[in-house]
Structures are given as structure tokens and as C-alpha cells.
Amino acid sequence: MQQIVNTPLPGPEPRASNGYMTFSKEKFWLEPPSETQRKQLEEELKLSGTNLKSHAWYHGHIPWEVSESLVLNHGDFLIRDSQSSQGDFVLTSHWEQKTLHFLIRKSVVQSSETYTRVRYSLEGEAFDSLPALVHFYVGSRAVLTRWSGAQIHRPVNRTLPLSYLETAFCTAVSTASVAPSPALSRRSDTTQSTQPSPNSTLHRQYNNISQPHLNQDSPSSETDGSCYTELYPGPQSYVERLRVEEVSVGVDPLRVEDGNVHFSPVVETVSSFKPSRYQSPLMPKENKPLEVGILRRVKELLAEIDPRTAAKHITKADCMVARILEVTPEVQRMMGVHSGMELLTLPHGQQLRLDLLERFQTMAIMLAVDVLGCTGTTEERAGLLHKIIQIAAELKSTMGNMFGFAAVMRALELPQVSRLEQTWMALRQRHTEGAILYEKTLRPFMKSLNDGRESCPLSNTTFPHVLPLLSLLEKSVAVGEGTEPWETVEVGVDVVMFHLGAARTIAQLGGIYRSNAESKLQGFQEQAEVLELFLTDFQMRLLWGSRGATENQALRYSKFDQVLTALSNKLEPPVRSQ
């Protein structure tokens, strides 16, 4: 059995003696990916899970200096090709303020005379594939090696296609002058490179810069790391453009910079929801809160559709509000970015964040009203609970819509719903599989999402779990009762850092979410009346009426909390203490 020795070291893996290349932030940067590159990345990530290219944590043949600049937070990691041992892989991670590089051991096992297989390991258990190794160490939080004590928690996902990264970095190495062998002089002469094409994404600035000394010390990642993530601003980055425009009040919004036309983003201050102007065949022009006739029709429509159809309608509406789907070039110019997923991470994306929080809360309340307004038998309410649980499962697994999933779960977890002991008992008796699904799968998964311990696979995600980020950035807007995961001392900082780090990735993957949503909704024939049930304008009118829907948000929520409590107590009166 052939085996490669594992050498975990704090710093770079041993370099090959035939060359040295420094990738410094001053010399190298990558511009944000072009639309073509975004599509290439999407195609790579859609490949079969057995293909390494389909895993976003695999960064291919990037230099170790670049990998160090990417793993910035405690527990971050990625997998890359080894530079010094062709055909091997290295796990780069950040742990306790150190960057560590682990050469992954490859062992060839001969299962029979004609069949051999490769196994991968770090120190202990061996695995049949790199994804299996990654899933084990992320899921179990086992230490990578006893020597290091390091763990891996969060993957750093690539934002450019492997085909481009390999070309870019291999070109960078081949076009730069290579320093001589250690046996020769440690200094190299000043070199000049040919000018790159103006359309080239990879820029090189030599400007008579001397090559560094050839030595084996670990260079600081702050001075020698090159980050190719979209959030690392190049000279004409969107972030820098915003800073310039902040102090340029009164300047014409149409700008020309270096021959490129740029539009200043519009800072939205008014909600996209207009319940006072909303017109629907399901309700009159003016309506009162919780009108019986409208509620009855809502219940009929919900009863008629199956959980998967409901999940598709919810996902369509969610992705429209979040500007994942059907984003026109005009809207993109207005936002200053391609996707709502990037906009919600930026300062001028506050209104979108507030709208999403409004939608989340309103959806949860409407579903809770559907349960609490069911004045029939306990068994009928249990059947309704079962259907809502099935909708949550479809949103999670079939649609990959973590936003919609979180809203439905919030409805089930509201204290006015969760206190209905007789209803939940009937659910366990009559819909045992639904009760088990909720208690053993959906609730633990929801908690893991909030705690930053689990996420939906990128290849299946249409709308990522952004709720923690929204509530972190907009603390003044309440999204429910109880302490959030990041508000406890034990896990506070780690959870906050996870969700802030996840935002960096989410901001760059809008194209993938759009592509996934389009694929899952392909051929979907929406029903106009059903879609209306899941539109926020309709829900606001249903819950608060044509007048109350425009009241102060905090006041609306406070009033309705009392309404939900009254409905809940009417269904199952609280037991009075003797």
C-alpha cells in the first residue's frame, strides 16, 4: 500500500525548490466575475456530487498564498491542489489565529487482483472520497490532527470557475521571472512583464519591483495574500465607487469612469409593499381585519392544493420579493448590483432587508391564523398542522428555500400555536409520521441553521438562510419572541461571525440561486388565486385590513400578538392554578 506522509504545518506547505512566486495584494487582484464566468461557475457546481468540481470548497490549483488570504475566520477551510506534490490535495484552514496547511494522505488499497481504490485521510479514519472526508470533519467537529487540535467549521466557497483560476494563476507563475535555486544567488534582477490585455480579469503590476529573497519563512498573509473573492475590491470596485459617490452629492447619476458607464445606485426609502393600493379578486377594495368571508376562501384554497404546489408558490413569491428572480437590467442599475442577495448585504440595501423581515413575520402570522382560526374539531386542526409541516419539508428539501422554510417553522413555533397540547397530541396519534418529521428532523435542522452548524447544499438552494443576517443588521425590527442564538454568551461571537462570514458568500452567489430557482420552477403553472395567498400585500390586508395595514409596524405586531393569544386561549383555555 502506497502512502503519502501528512505534514501539518503552521504556514505554507514546503515549496518546490525550482521556483518562488509571491502573490501580493499590491501586485495581483481579480475583478468581480463576469457574467460568463458566473455561468461557468454555476455549470461546475451543478455537476454530479462525485465530481470534485461540483463542490464550492474545492479551489483547484490556487497558490498557498492565495488560500491563506481566503481563510480569515476561526474554523474557515478550503481544499486545493498541492503545489509541491502533483496530484495530491491540501486542506487549508484557519484555527486559533493561525493558518494551517494539511497535506491529505492518499493510500491505494488493492481490493482484488484487478481493482484498486484510493482512500483519503489526515491522521485517523480514511475515506473513499474527499467530500466524505470533509463531511465527516465538518459534521463531527473532530480534530484534524492531535498535534494541531484544529477543527473545520465553515467552507470558503470559490466565486470563480476552476477553469479560469487555473489559467489565471498558472499564467501568473509562468509569465513572472523565477528566482534562482537556493544554491545560487538569493537575489534576482528586476524584471518587466508585457502589458496585459485591457480586458483581462487578472491584472499584474510590476513597475520595476524586485523579486523577493528566496527563503523558507512563512510570509504574512496580510502582505502576501491575494484574495480573488468578489468582496476584495479592485481599483474600480463597486465599494470604492460608492465611497466616492457618498461625497459627490448633486453629481449627475450617469458617470463615465475610464470609458465605462456607471449608474449611481438608488437608495430606496419606501417599502415595495403597497397594501393600501392592492387590489385582489379575493377581497373588496376596502376590508376589515380577518373578515370571515376572506378567511373562509383562504382556507378553501389551502385545502385544495398539495404541499409541493404550495411550496412552489411560496418560493416564487419569496424569490420575487428578494430580487432573485425576474430582475430586469433597469432594476439592476437601480440596485447597483446584479442580485438582491448582494444588495441586502450593503448599506443601501436596508429597505430590502426591512421588506424581507416584514414578509417573514407576516407569512408566519397568516399561517398561525389559519391554524388558530380553525374552530372545528381537534382532529381537523391536527390535519392542518400536518399539512403545514409537509409544506415546511417541501420548502426545505424539494425547493431549497430556507427563507420560506424559516417562516413556516416560525408559525409552528409561535407560543400561541405550540401551546395547543391537545392539537399536538392529536397530530402524534393521527399523523405520526408528520409529528416525527417535525420533532426529529425539521426542528433540529432549523436550530442548526440558526446556530450556524448546518446549511442547505448550494446545488439545491434557491433562497439561502438570511434571517439571522437580517435581524443582526436590523436589530430594531423584532422577528419573534425569545433569545436569538447569537445573544447567548456561550455561542454569541462564533455564531455572529459565522452569519457575517456566510453573508460574504451569499452576496456572490445570486446567479446560482437564480439558476436553481429557475430550474426548480421550470414548467410550473402558477395559480393566480393561490399565489395571492402568499403575497405580502394580500396577507397584510387580510390580517390588518385596508386601514390597519399602513399603521406603525410595531403597533401592528403588538395588536396581533394579542389577537393570536385570544384565539389560542379560546381553542384550548389555559389551565388555572388552584
Asked, for residue 21, whether it belongs to a domain, the answer is no
| Whole-number pLDDT of residue 146 | 87
* Under 8 Å between Cβ of 61 and 81: yes
Closest CA to 474 of 337, 363, 321, 355: 355
- Final residue before a domain boundary, out of 167, 201, 228: 167
DSSP H or E stretch at residue 553: helix 553-571
| Whole-number pLDDT of residue 79 | 95
Task: Tell me which residue has cell 397594501.
Answer: 275
Taking residues 42-65, report their average pLDDT: 88
| Whole-number pLDDT of residue 429 | 95
- Final residue before a domain boundary, out of 141, 167, 193: 167
* Under 8 Å between Cβ of 400 and 460: yes
| Whole-number pLDDT of residue 32 | 64
Q: 477 and 328: one domain?
A: yes
| Whole-number pLDDT of residue 37 | 86
pLDDT band of residue 263 (cuts 50, 70, 90) is: low
- What are the distances in angstroms from CA 322 to CA 331, 364, 535, 538, 560? 12, 17, 12, 17, 25
| Whole-number pLDDT of residue 480 | 52
Asked, for residue 204, whether it belongs to a domain, the answer is no
CA 113 to chain centre: 46
Segment among 226-230, 373-377, 400-404, 569-573 with least mean pLDDT: 226-230
Distance separating alpha carbons of residues 229 and 501, to the nearest angstrom: 12
Number of domains the chain is built from: 2
Q: 300 and 161: one domain?
A: no
CA 394 to chain centre: 19
Q: 302 and 157: one domain?
A: no
* Under 8 Å between Cβ of 566 and 419: no
DSSP H or E stretch at residue 570: helix 553-571
| Whole-number pLDDT of residue 194 | 34
Burial label, 233 (beta-carbon count in 10 A; 0-12, 13-18, 19+)? middle
Asked, for residue 311, whether it belongs to a domain, the answer is yes
Task: Tell me which residue has cell 397530530.
Answer: 427
Closest CA to 503 of 287, 303, 342: 342
Closest CA to 67 of 231, 226, 212: 226
Distance separating alpha carbons of residues 47 and 477, to the nearest angstrom: 40
Q: 476 and 336: one domain?
A: yes
DSSP character for 99?
E
Asked, for residue 514, whether it belongs to a domain, the answer is yes
| Whole-number pLDDT of residue 536 | 96
Q: How far apart are the first and last CA of the chain?
A: 75
Q: 162 and 297: one domain?
A: no
Q: What's the predicted TM-score (pTM) here?
A: 0.61
| Whole-number pLDDT of residue 184 | 28
DSSP string, 199-221: T-SEEE--TTPPPPP---S---H
Domain of 131: which CATH number? Answer: 3.30.505.10
Query: What count of other Cβ atoms lies within 10 Å of the Cβ of residue 151?
Result: 17
| Whole-number pLDDT of residue 577 | 61
Range of the domain at 436: 292-571
Asked, for residue 277, whether it belongs to a domain, the answer is no
The residue type found at 326 is E
* Under 8 Å between Cβ of 384 and 371: yes
Taking residues 53-74, report their average pLDDT: 89
SS3 call for 422: helix
For residue 108, pLDDT beyond 90: no
pLDDT band of residue 504 (cuts 50, 70, 90) is: confident
For residue 131, pLDDT beyond 50: yes
Which range has the top average pLDDT, 132-136, 282-286, 292-296, 534-538?
Answer: 534-538
Q: Residue 254 phi/psi, 5° resolution?
A: -90, 115
Taking residues 454-479, report their average pLDDT: 83
At 520-571, the pLDDT tens digits run 999 999 999 999 999 999 999 999 999 888 888 888 898 889 999 999 999 9
Asked, for residue 224, whether it belongs to a domain, the answer is no
At 342-364, the pLDDT tens digits run 999 999 999 999 999 999 999 99
Asked, for residue 87, whether it belongs to a domain, the answer is yes
For residue 154, pLDDT beyond 80: yes
For residue 325, pLDDT beyond 50: yes
At 3-36, the pLDDT tens digits run 333 444 444 443 333 332 334 433 444 556 788 8
Asked, for residue 160, whether it belongs to a domain, the answer is yes
Strand pairing of 98-103 and 89-95?
antiparallel
SS3 call for 529: helix
- Final residue before a domain boundary, out of 135, 167, 199: 167
pLDDT band of residue 276 (cuts 50, 70, 90) is: confident
For residue 192, pLDDT beyond 60: no
DSSP character for 114?
S
Domain of 317: which CATH number? Answer: 1.10.840.10
For residue 133, pLDDT beyond 50: yes
DSSP string, 297-327: HHHHHHHHS-HHHHHHHHHHHHHHHTTSSS-
The residue type found at 137 is Y
